[in-house]
Structure 1
Amino acid sequence: MSLAPGQIGRFEAPAHWRAIDFISDLHLDAEHPRTFDAWERQLLHTTADAVWLLGDVFEAWVGDDARHSGFEQRCAQVLKAAAGRRHIAFMAGNRDFLVGEALLADCGMHRLADPTLLQAWGQTLLLTHGDALCIADTEYQRFRAMVRDPAWQQAFLARGLAERQALARQMRDASEANKRGQMPTDWADVDAGTAVQWLQAAGAAQMLHGHTHRPGHDILAPGFERHVLSDWDLDGTHPRAEVLRLTREGLVRLAPELALALA
């Protein structure tokens, strides 16, 4: 998937900001209360000026009309409260691509294009959820093309809310069945060559993405590097969660509780 400069969103951080927190792949749902609680604390009490959510915040988002009740309403209330305190931005992932303008407007969130070029304190980073770059997973890329089509989305959103929720559960169960017995290292990773092409088109040397559930940092090619966000799961047998924070000094990985304490 090639990328033209005109397809890239752009954002310049205000000079008075001191820190931006990046998180992704929380997969929030009612069955993971500890993860939800940690996310709520992070959004409401972080010392950063901004929190940017880079996709898969929700396990499934079936339409903005879901925001009026149940677990989705609780999430919307947290987002609205957080946006009253700091800049909250959202980039769609493969689980929450149906987040629409109604939710963003109600909560006071800012939408981020995928990808977005961020310029902050003399640093330049290209931000993406990451799924579009996993081109080796051809089956997923066909699915992605289908569900990102406006006609498909219009037809899906025309169904009743309960039906959409049932369909989302079916798709989630099928996805989990396919992953059973696999580790994140078994899943398709970002294609390094395509990622470098994106960076060249954006005029950046660093990429930041989620999606792959393989947090870390590595070199894509000489002169080009990437930083991968952690997924969050504080309800399982091996709890994990991490914030990637950008300051004038660069990027640092923090446990969520440290993000609440460090100025």
Structure 2
Amino acid sequence: MTPIAEWRADPRWSAIDLLSDVHLHADMPRTFDVWRQHLLDTPADAVLMLGDVFEVWVGDDARLDAFEQQCCEVLRQATARRSVAFLPGNRDFLVGDVMLQACGVQRLADPTLLRAWQHRLLLTHGDALCLADVDYQRFRQEVRGADWQQRFLAQPLAERQRQARAMRDASAAHQAAMVPGQWFDVDGAAADAWLAAADADMMVHGHTHRPAVHTLPSGKPRHVLGDWDLDAAAPRARALRLTAQGLAVLDLAAR
């Protein structure tokens, strides 16, 4: 495993918010509104976004489209008030430095060790640890490669958006055909190996859409962030807040 990056919090801070799987999309206006309100109004000193903030991201030139411009404006306003960082997910791994720098957002490697007060949290999106999903891991390795990304980004924006819609539809159909017990989850042994390599006390990740606290084989906790959908019949939006005292759940759908 390559050396694990570190992100150190300012010891003068009082709180850090952790969120993922917001899946921002123009067809989900309420989700966008709650995400915007939280980034702008949270009392936290920093917000760390652990992937799949966007339902899809096909290249930084897409930031000029109307909805993406709105998202970028929220990020610019948020970074004027607090630290904001982004770790790529499986749907927005093509978010590039052009977009992040324009919005003042810091990039986090996957994984990253968060050092805050006395805590050592290993942050990851989580998809790289779903080892039983062999087909996805093969696909992930391909699309994270420089050659695939260069070929994809060389295509016109409209064609990239068309392909992204097709992949999104295929993914939704595949998930709909699976019962919950068939969903792939994080491999416990692999998660423990990452924690040991980072000398971390716990792991925080998203991706699986199974918000809970799980106990790994080592006995260390694995905190899973929830996905957001405020436009659903049963709205949901969950985040975590880290303070010197530890992690607490934020139910943003209850506001």
User: What TM-score comes out, normalization by structure 1 length?
Assistant: 0.94
| Residue correspondence of structure 1 range 79-228 to structure 2 within 5 A | 79-228=75-224
Contact residue 90 and residue 109 of structure 1 kept, 8 A: yes
Map of 1:27 onto structure 2: 23
Cα RMSD between the aligned structures?
1.3
Contact residue 205 and residue 223 of structure 1 kept, 8 A: no
The number of equivalent residue pairs is 255
Residue identity matched to 1:175: S
Unmatched runs of 5 consecutive residues or more in structure 1: none
Contact residue 235 and residue 253 of structure 2 kept, 8 A: no
Q: Deviations over 1:69-120 (max 9, x none)?
A: 2211111111111111110000000000000000011000000000000111
User: What TM-score comes out, normalization by structure 2 length?
Assistant: 0.97
Residue 78 in structure 1 maps to residue 74 in structure 2? yes
Of 237, 242, 248, the match for 1:241? 237
Shift of 1:184: 4.8
Runs of 4 or more, structure 1, over 2 Å off, are 181-186
Shift of 1:12: 1.2
Residue identity matched to 1:29: H
Helix, strand or coil: the match of 2:210? Answer: coil
Contact residue 184 and residue 212 of structure 1 kept, 8 A: no
Alpha-carbon distance between aligned partners in 1 of 2:67 and 2:10, rounded to the nearest angstrom: 34
Alpha-carbon distance between aligned partners in 1 of 2:200 and 2:130, rounded to the nearest angstrom: 20
Alpha-carbon distance between aligned partners in 1 of 2:215 and 2:77, rounded to the nearest angstrom: 38
Shift of 1:170: 0.5
Helix, strand or coil: the match of 2:172? Answer: helix
Map of 1:232 onto structure 2: 228
Report percent identity of matched pairs: 58
Unmatched runs of 5 consecutive residues or more in structure 2: none
Alpha-carbon distance between aligned partners in 1 of 2:233 and 2:119, rounded to the nearest angstrom: 37
